[in-house]
Structure 1
């Protein structure tokens, strides 16, 4: 029985699309197979998380699930609604309804593309401020170098697939709330190409791709923030037998900085101001991400007074603008005084009587 996607992602029924996205990203990172190599339980958990996200991230699938529930006891209809019967089939929900209401959907033959891949990277605040490029290492299916992605052993033929008769697809039955219907799916034997190697490649077993480590350059826009996601087109997993690769998605996490606190596009920091400068006023140098900035402190500046440095914050992505930098003046009271300083302070106190 399929598990409730809301339970899998730890969500309430009224969760917003952003809640769904945040829960998925957090759990997929936690249970990613790369972190639990050889752990079958973690692998199954990761599959459950992806299946749940597939339903809840699609407004139409989510609406259907909320209305009809899950197979074997969902709400709305006896027996509920089973998404698993056509998950992975090329047509999806839209063609399922087309099949029922308008005759069998016209089949769409296509080759078996690769898969999207995800990974996360951490940036310092300075790196997020400056942007640039980051080279990342990942393990992914890449085109087999022995057969150049064809899946065929050298000097052997590519023949018509006997599993699908060259159509690139096979039909199968789906048990749905409408009853038993037939639906077309990509032929697994040939990956939708309609042809297959006469003799599979010795290196990749006929798949046309192999797992290998790869270096990918990720372009990081200045001003990027935690929770944002970058897409690197064509750098996901390669497709079977020369089919196109999908995309790589990179989730960003910006580390806390010991000197600055980020607040959206603004920056906040604390500057220690000498008591004498607070009393008499002074020009002080404040360190920002843009470099040192001279700030005029008026005489009689009070503890906690905040100075705003316009345009000295983080870049605003997609524009030439920057946020602001807010400086909290923390007045430092000396713990020890020289004899001369003490004498002056005592004279000052006497003057105030």
Structure 2
């Protein structure tokens, strides 16, 4: 699926749907497009993965809140995040959500390794990593690629993540006799019940390591550093969290890597203040410029621009520079730059300046009439509320 659809639309639920309604809707979609029911159908497989990606976000309270606020970008849509960002495998889906299907497909999932409710091999998952990325307004305005060095657990190259020194360093598990599962019979009020669970000794592998890897001591992972490129989309905001699937810690002895979670921090601009997608600049005009008019320079994220000041500009007036704000992270347009005008009144005057001001005071034009006072207070009423 080239373009991401709305997650609520994918599952066929309203945005006010309860967690139970979301779970029920996902189970219905997953059963409808399950590979066992649609063998060889690539379109059904994509729908199956799409539904799993939607459920992975909407079933998590924090991710759902970010998605509701920021859309796909808020849950890693631009950074390759979520399962769908880098290709969600069937193993990913069954290891995470297999319990939802229950016994609908006989406990296993055809040719996909027996994940889910049937007690097959337990898939390890590496832990998530969290990093903070600090951005300035320029980077937020246009988007940016950041390269960061991350200390993390990576798969051991010596043993390819198996934890064994070589291919002969295994023996058959004596607990399950190589089956990877153990059967238990319990007496209940309904009679004798048999349950099948993953073997606790070999974790479902059917074999145990007799000679551990000398590099990782049998863990399958080692501590290392990795330089990761993160593509930050334009319009992100303070506190937004992006994610990159599979860029977290490697799993012990194989499995699914954790995710890299990127928390956005915004550097304070020396002159501009952010208000969602709008930017605000407080301009202090000299008294003569406010009276006579002219042009002044104001800062933007792209540099300074000239702004025309009309003669008789009053303090409290707001100039709006269209499109000079920040883009929406969901590409719904660009904010504006709002220039709030104040007028500077000098606290001390030279004798010559004082004479000029006294002359001006004699002019009736500098003495506001009752009508002018009322007009002013009506126009700038918000300043006095």
- TM-score norm. by structure 2 comes to 0.59
The alignment status of 1:145 with 2:173, answered yes or no, reads: no
Structure 2 regions of 5+ residues with no counterpart? Answer: 1-17, 20-58, 65-94, 109-113, 368-385
- TM-score norm. by structure 1 comes to 0.63
1:325 offset after TM fit, Å? 0.9
Whole-Å separation in 2 of the counterparts to 1:208 and 1:188: 18
Change (3 A) 1:233 1:95: closer
Where do residues 299-310 of structure 1 align in structure 2 (5 Å cutoff)?
299-310=311-322
Corresponding residue for residue 121 of structure 1: 132
1:128 offset after TM fit, Å? 2.6
1:278 offset after TM fit, Å? 0.7
Corresponding residue for residue 208 of structure 1: 220
Corresponding residue for residue 375 of structure 2: none
User: 272-281 vs 128-137, which deviates more?
Assistant: 128-137
1:150 offset after TM fit, Å? 2.1
The alignment status of 1:240 with 2:260, answered yes or no, reads: no
Corresponding residue for residue 334 of structure 2: 322
Residue-by-residue CA offset, 1:192-226 (whole Å, 9 max, x unaligned): 44444331112323221123343322221121112
Corresponding residue for residue 334 of structure 1: 346
SS at match of 1:148: coil
1:281 offset after TM fit, Å? 0.8
Whole-Å separation in 2 of the counterparts to 1:276 and 1:169: 87
The alignment status of 1:105 with 2:117, answered yes or no, reads: no
Where do residues 161-180 of structure 1 align in structure 2 (5 Å cutoff)?
161-170=173-182
Corresponding residue for residue 71 of structure 1: none
Alignment partner of 2:361 out of 335, 342, 349 = 349
Change (3 A) 1:91 1:284: closer
Q: Confirm or deny: 8 A CA contact 1:113 1:238 kept in the other structure.
A: no
1:243 offset after TM fit, Å? 2.7
1:312 offset after TM fit, Å? 0.6
Give the number of equivalent residue pairs.
Answer: 269
Residue-by-residue CA offset, 1:219-248 (whole Å, 9 max, x unaligned): 211211123221212211212323342321
Change (3 A) 1:294 1:163: farther
Whole-Å separation in 2 of the counterparts to 1:183 and 1:277: 86
Alignment partner of 2:100 out of 94, 99, 118 = 94
Alignment partner of 1:284 out of 284, 288, 296 = 296
CA RMSD of aligned residues (A): 3.8
Residue-by-residue CA offset, 1:9-33 (whole Å, 9 max, x unaligned): xxxxxxx99xxxxxxxxxxxxxxxx
1:114 offset after TM fit, Å? 2.5
